[in-house]
């Protein structure tokens, strides 16, 4: 349990750093008039690179799968799609709230799902090792 808490704190720290890069990128592009989908995808690319390397080096260093980067990209695509569609639904309901704040709230909620997915789907090499042994 203690290892899980420490791991989650590291995950949250890596996510915070990546989130700052993500939100700055999104904020700038959104305020330059770039459509949400393109601003969100661009911000995700920046965040994806920063976060993957932080997670691999500092959080899940014992879980190095051959296909971790591909799995991480799949997780990011799924998470981005969920956030994008929720943003499109919420923005008309909250017209006076800047979209970056809606996005940040959704990201906070998705963070818990993303930790579990990263731990058990992206970086967990125990299942991969067992399948190669069989």
Q: pLDDT (tens digit, 9 = 90+) per residue, 37-95?
A: 999 889 989 988 999 989 888 888 766 677 888 999 999 889 989 999 999 999 999 99
> DSSP string spanning 52-72?
HHHIIIIISTT---TTHHHHH
Contacts of 82 by beta carbon, 8 Å cutoff, 6+ apart = 106, 110
| pLDDT above 80: residue 15 | yes
Q: How far from chain centre, in Å, is Cα 83? A: 10
User: How many residues comprise the chain?
Assistant: 134
For 35, phi and psi rounded to 5 degrees? -60, 150
- Domain map (residue ranges) of the chain: 2-133
- Can you give the pTM of this predicted structure? 0.70
pLDDT band at 106 (very low <50, low <70, confident <90, very high): very high
Q: Tell me the pLDDT of the chain averaged across its residues.
A: 86
Greater model confidence, 130 or 97: 97
Exposure class string for 81-108: b at 16+ Cβ within 10 A, else e: eebbebbeeeeeeeeeeebbebbebbbe
What are the CA-CA distances from residue 125 to residues 1, 78, 118 (Å)?
20, 21, 11
Residue for token pair 């909620």: 109
């Amino acid at each position: 349990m203690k290892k899980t808490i420490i791991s989650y704190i590291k995950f949250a720290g890596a996510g915070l750093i990546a989130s700052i890069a993500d939100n700055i990128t999104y904020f700038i592009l959104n305020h330059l008039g770039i459509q949400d989908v393109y601003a969100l995808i661009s911000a995700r690319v920046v965040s994806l690179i920063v976060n993957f390397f932080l997670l691999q080096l500092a959080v899940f260093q014992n879980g190095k799968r051959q296909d971790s980067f591909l799995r991480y990209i799949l997780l990011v695509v799924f998470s981005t799609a969920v956030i994008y569609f929720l943003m499109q639904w919420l923005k008309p309901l909250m017209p006076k709230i800047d979209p970056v704040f809606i996005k940040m709230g959704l990201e906070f909620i998705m963070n818990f799902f993303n930790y579990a997915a990263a731990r058990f789907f992206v970086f967990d090499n125990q299942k991969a090792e067992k399948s190669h042994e069989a």
